[in-house]
Amino acid sequence: MNEPVPSAADRSGPCDLRVLWDDRLITYDFGPGHPMNPVRVELTMALAREYGVLDQPNVEVAPVEPAGEALLELIHDPAYIAAVRHAGSTGLPVPRHGLGTPDNPVFIGMHEASALVTGASVAAAEAVWTGRTSHAANIAGGLHHAMRSAASGFCVYDDPAIAIAWLLEHGAERVAYVDVDVHHGDGVQTAFYDDPRVLTISLHETPRTLFPGTGFPQECGTGEARGMAVNVALPPGTGDAAWLRAFHAVVPQLLRAFRPQVLLTQHGCDSHRLDPLAHLMLSVDGQRAAYAALHRLAHEVAGGRWIITGGGGYELVQVVPRAWTHLLAEAAGRPIDPATATPEPWREFVRKRTLEIAPAVMSDLPPDRSGGDPLEVPAWASGYDPANPVDQAILATRKAVFPEHGLDPLTEA
């Protein structure tokens, strides 16, 4: 028995989408040679514009203001914020706060750039929560590793966690966070590990082989929040069908049981097979299928209230711009046919900006398979293979958290 992932034709109608953007967002820049080069965001916005995604009548591109101290302090310690300010104004490292490491080198203007990223995610949350729009996106956001008092994993301020904290401060009682980055969303999990109002779900490469070394299924929350931290730790080499099988065996069931008022998702595309920092084997097509599934779930379980952030992704030309352009188009309710050729002006811009050859089409699949056909995903209900490491990972997660939500880990489809 197979569970098809819907194609563009299975989803109907445009959706209101507010895209938070300011050209200053590309000043979040750790410098030459650092994997998190902001050109990836620049190329994404250029590709989305070429396709007309941002020009649709249901899409608004909105300005961004930096987060102030009160917002940052919803998650971060004041002494840490002061350290970021100091490092960003002097260029001097502050090792006890993780500032000045190879992952998080200091750069001038660090506080201002990081606060702007956070401001965009909070503005997205505010727009969705107040009903100004149904969906809102900050593709420069998703900095999910930052901790209360330390930078970590290319992340200075934890914008998804701050956006969730803002929602809680303004009356939200149930917020769901789904993180599909190849790295465990440890900063967000830590921020809400004992808070039963927040369900965090992270699908990532096993911490046995990848930073940050956390995200085992047994990390499932504490106290009244037991079962509210969910971790699907997948083996290296996991590809599209197996990853989507894991997603569909865990995420929809928990979201339906939790019934969030709003869904916030982090879309790191470093799960791609070309990503230089990790070991999963997804294609842009598999990632696109995940975006479609999350869009559908936002409407099913959260009344359409969907906040979208970017995240990791270090294949700067071949992967990130296509993946996140698909994401924005999906959120707007106007998916791009994956067989579509990339626009020639964009390819020329890529050549001039990066000296690289841009991808020719919006799919990684062969031409005979890239025309929007659904990926066939074996459903969990079709049976469990005890010798399969992906099935082992799925079952470990289901056993750890499903009972806490009144769900049977063995039989729940």
Distances (CA, A) of 390 to 51, 204, 229, 386: 36, 12, 19, 9
**Residue 137: Cβ within 10 Å count:** 28
Both tokens of 233, joined, read: 């730790």
Question: Smallest Cα–Cα separation from 36: which of 169, 147, 163, 142?
Answer: 142
Q: Exposed (0-12), middle (13-18) or buried (19+): which is 194, by Cβ within 10 Å?
A: middle
The per-residue DSSP string of 247-304 comes to HHHHHHHHHHHH--SEEEEE---TTBTT-TT---BB-HHHHHHHHHHHHHHHHHHSTT
**Contact 153/103 with Cβ under 8 angstroms?**
yes
145 noted as active-site residue: yes
- Choose, from 97, 144, 145, 326, the residue flagged as catalytic: 145
Q: What is the residue type of 197?
A: R
Helices (H), 51-144: 69-72, 78-90, 110-129
CA–CA separation, 319 vs 311, rounded Å?
13
Given phi > 0 = left and psi -120 to 50 = alpha, else beta, which region is 372? left
Question: Smallest Cα–Cα separation from 339: which of 285, 376, 295?
Answer: 285
Q: Exposed (0-12), middle (13-18) or buried (19+): which is 344, by Cβ within 10 Å?
A: exposed
Q: What is the residue type of 294?
A: L
Q: What is the residue type of 330?
A: E
Distances (CA, A) of 401 to 205, 230, 261, 397: 19, 7, 20, 6
Q: Exposed (0-12), middle (13-18) or buried (19+): which is 408, by Cβ within 10 Å?
A: exposed
Q: What is the residue type of 1?
A: M
CA–CA separation, 255 vs 258, rounded Å?
5
Catalytic residue list: 145
